[in-house]
Amino acid sequence: MQIIGPDVLVFGVDDVPACHEFLTAYGLDAQDYTPEKGGLFTGLDGTGLEIRRRDDPSLPPALKTGNMLRMQVIGVVDEAALEAVQAELSKDRQVLRLADGSLRCQDDQGFELAFRVTTRKPLDMPGEKVNAPYHPARAANAIGVSEDMPARPRSLSHVVLFVPDVDVAVGFYRDRLGFRITDTLTGAGPFLRPQANPDHHTHFFIRTPVYMQGCEHLAFHMGGPTELMLAGSRMIRAGFESFWGPGRHKFGSNWFWYFKSPLGCNVEFDADMDIHDDDWAPREAPMGPEAAQAFLFQYRDKWAPTGGPGGPKP
């Protein structure tokens, strides 16, 4: 099935202005925003997060756990792909076709879903270029970093869900929607990618008790590790709080930096994720600190060594 991945994640929150403060600092663009009604917060390709008040009557019902994720809007390549999703899911559940052409239904564990022909706009922006000995990637005189260079989230990358039953989740996303399992962290769960997206994962499921069902974190892709480090450092200096990172994951190879958020889940910057095709042989490793990252660092304030003892004169 020609699914690309989440176009938009919809949240019903208890503090809309706090989400606005956080998400604009994170680098998303606020569209049609008011403190009363919320708005859409987009990355550079138009994918994003829709933030509404938790009592907004236009939202689908909330999860019983209090988690603020209300719906995933999943983009597919074209109308034929949308019809394929409709035909498949209509076999055993109600699938509504809304006036705007999108589909609405639930997965097998009560997560609300919408499907639509994707509205993301492919970006004509180069990724980070690295100069290696004998293989420079940047032209002469092109500098690699500057303090004020842009570091904005480019595209919604993935959503990670706490699920009561991983087998049920796999039965739906793999067996019904055609997602591929790329790797599995045993004890936690599988990473999945839809067929029309080569990214290592758009979804990762973590087995939890029923009372935790919801969104564990979401992530946007940055243009490279330097953008990720700059964006995260700017967040820290503005008073926001890191949860995990910066570091680099093993499965997916993506650089990561997670920040706590008023969305009630972590919000991650990621960069340089592996891409795969159907020749890939999925790996497995037991979940734990070893498998979760190749390396992990912690932010510290800027500092500089100098020549003589005692440091620079003030």
Partner 1 sequence: MLLCHLDELPDGSTRGFKVAGLRCKVIVVRRGDRVYGWRDLCPHYAGGTPMAWKRDAYLNGEGTHIACAAHGAWFEIDTGVCVQGPCLGKRLTRVPLEIRSDGTVAMATSGR
Q: Residue numbers of the site for partner 1 (CB under 8 A)?
A: 13-15, 18, 21-22, 65-68, 162, 208-209, 211-212, 214, 216, 239-241, 243, 259-262, 264-266
CB of 280 to Fe ion, least distance (A): 19
**The two three-digit tokens of residue 248, written as one number:** 């680099």
Rounded CA gap, 221 and 255, in Å?
Answer: 10
Which listed residue (89, 219, 271, 273) binds Fe ion by CB under 5 A? 219
From the list Fe ion, partner 1, none, pick the one residue 15 interacts with, judged by a Cβ distance below 5 to 8 Å according to partner type: partner 1
Return all residues near 126 (Cβ < 8 A) that are at least 6 apart.
223
Tell me the HSE value of 251 on the side-chain side, using a 13 A CA sphere: 29
CA distance 234 to 147: 10
By C-beta, is 33 or 205 nearer to Fe ion? 205
CB of 229 to partner 1, least distance (A): 20
Site for Fe ion in 99-158 (CB under 5 A): none
Instruction: Report, in Å, the least distance between residue 167 CB and partner 1.
Output: 21
Q: Rounded to the nearest whole angstrom, what is the least distance from the CB of residue 81 to Fe ion in the complex? A: 25
Give the whole-angstrom CA distance, residue 218 versus residue 214: 11
Q: Which C-beta is closer to Fe ion: that of 112 or that of 268?
A: 268
Q: Identify the DSSP state of 153.
A: -
Please say whether the beta carbons of 156 and 220 come within 8 A: yes
Nearest residue (CB) to Fe ion, 52 versus 154: 154
Is the dihedral angle over the CA atoms 50, 51, 53, 55 positive or is it negative? Answer: positive
> What is the C-alpha to C-alpha distance for residues 91 and 94, in angstroms, rounded to an integer?
8
Reported residue count of the chain is 314
Q: How far apart are CA 233 and CA 149, in angstroms?
A: 13
Q: Which is nearer to partner 1, 182 or 213 (CB)?
A: 213
144/211 with CB nearer partner 1: 211
Stretch binding Fe ion (CB under 5 A), from 2-10, 17-25, 60-68, 217-225 = 217-225
H-helix or E-strand spanning residue 41 = strand 38-42
Measured from the CB of residue 269, what is the shortest distance to partner 1 in angstroms?
15
Nearest distance in Å: CB 71, partner 1: 17
- 68 or 89, CB closer to partner 1? 68
> Could you list the residues that contact Fe ion (CB under 5 A)?
219, 268
